[in-house]
Structure 1
Amino acid sequence: PALRRRTVALWLVWFCVTFAYYGAFIWIPTLLFLQGFDLVKSFGFTLIITLAQLPGYAVAAWLIEVWGRRATLSVFLLGSGVSAVLFGQSSAEWAILATGMALSFFNLGAWGALYAATPEMYPTSLRATGAGWAAGVGRIASIAAPPSVPLMIGVGGIGLVFLVFAVFFVVAAVAAWGLVEGRGSALAD
């Protein structure tokens, strides 16, 4: 039962984070183009936005030892959710860059915390299998997310797309509290 609960929580986090990440970052250049930016500018914006992932990952790597895995993961997921909503509502260049960079920063920080927490959920005999299955559930989301974006655009535009991603981030943030906190603990054999 203990492994079942943490496995369900872990799979939910992996599914939600992966869905929102691949849905957003595969489509950002095209979505910027649809907003009227030329192809060169949309890819330029995407490059700048993506560079914010590096400090996000580094800050999360530090915070997991200060705040713990669950708190860091949840804060970065909530930051991702807020950033996603703001990005979906942005039209000015400065706002697109600022909110896109925030989304990038928080989303990759969440990935860093998730990568640290995942193997700590299972004893040594199940660690690789447990982490592999969690990543596999994430792969399902990475396949499902990109084709869902055009459907969401058709229903409610870019704002709806990023609102849906925000909901996925918030669900993941809540599910993260079902994970075992591994900071300062020895891994189970």
Structure 2
Amino acid sequence: MGTHELQFDQVYAEFQPKIYRYLTRLIGLKDAEDVTQDVFIKVNRALHTFKKDSQLSTWIYQIATNAAIDRMRSQPFKQESAEQFNESDIDRLAAKNTYSYKKPLLIEDQVVRQEMNECIRNFVMDLPENYRTVAVLSEIEGLKDSEIAAILGVSINTVKIRLHRAKNNLRKLLLANCNFYRTDCNELACEQKGPSSSQ
């Protein structure tokens, strides 16, 4: 019993910050706290059944991903969670080669950038859950395709296809719903064409 508790303490200390960050990016801050707690309750209960032939991180990410998908399917939470995405993460996810911010930003440009990232964050949360999950695991968590395949129980080829489609879907959403323009300092910015159709 003492050994099991020590092992769980170590697992919790190592993985709780990672899983909390992952779930925040996947389902938003409002839901991430509760889901993270649920994940580690499950980890604690099942830790003695963990087989050493697979990676502990993969196993924990599996539990977290399944819990996140359950939450995504059980209640609408897009509006609350969309605003919690990290700006630099969304920059990388949305279009790595489309725009970049290299110069120090003036106050006006910081406002423009914030509005652009807000726009992007809203549409990331509109991606289908299978695309959103792969995109967050790959582009934000930095996991390899093989690790993502193991977490999701799909082939590496499926991971590649979903990631490609996630980026395409996001690009289409942005092009369909946003007007892009350059500021006086040559920063790329956007504004929504009209009220968002997402509820």
- What is the TM-score with the length of structure 1 in the denominator? 0.31
Larger Cα-atom Rg: 2
> 1 or 2, which has the higher helix percentage?
1
> 1 or 2, which has the higher strand percentage?
2
